[in-house]
Amino acid sequence: DGSFGPIFVRLAWHAAGTYDKHTHTGGPGTGASMRFKPESAWGANNGLDQARARLELVKKQYPGISYADLWSLAGVVAVESMGGPVIPWRPGRVDCTEQTAPKLRDGLLPDATKGASHLRDIFYRMGFTDQEIVALSGAHTLGRCHTTSSGFTGPW
C-alpha cells in the first residue's frame, strides 16, 4: 500500500529486540548495529534495508540525529500516525561504528516458523510477560507480510 509506518515499527522493534535482561546486552544500546553485517543480513531483518534507506533521506536532512535515535523515533511517529497512542520519547542514543558494533548472534529475534515456546523464549529473555507478548504480537496487524522479507505473504 506504500505506507512506511509498519516497516518503521518493525525496524524500531528489531533494533531493540536483541536485548537480553540477564546480560544487559543487545537492544537499543547497540547503537544501530543493524547497519552492519552480519546483523543486517540476518533472515529476521530481511526487508528492513528498505526502511533504513528511506530514513537516509531524513538523516541527510538532519545529520545530527543518531541512527539509533532516528530508528526509534521513526517507530514512535509511525505508531502515533497510524492512530496508536502517544509514546513518550527521549533522544540520546549513541551510534556504534562498524568496529565497535557488538558481536550479536543470529537467532535473537522471533522466527515466525517456530511455535509458542520459541516466542516465549525470545520474549522472556527480554523480560516480557505472556500478556506483554500478546500485546506486542498485535503489531503484526500493521501492514502485511512480504515473501521477500519473511517468506510469508498477505496479512497475518
13 is catalytic: no
14 is catalytic: yes
Among the options 13, 140, 146, 156, which is catalytic? 156
C-alpha gyration radius of the chain? 15
The Cα 20–Cα 125 span in angstroms is 5
Q: Which residues of 118-155 are buried (b: 16+ CB within 10 A; e: fewer)?
A: ebeebbebbebeeeebeebeebbebbebeeebbeeeee
Among the options 13, 14, 24, 146, which is catalytic? 14
The Cα 78–Cα 5 span in angstroms is 5
Q: Which residues belong to the active site?
A: 14, 156
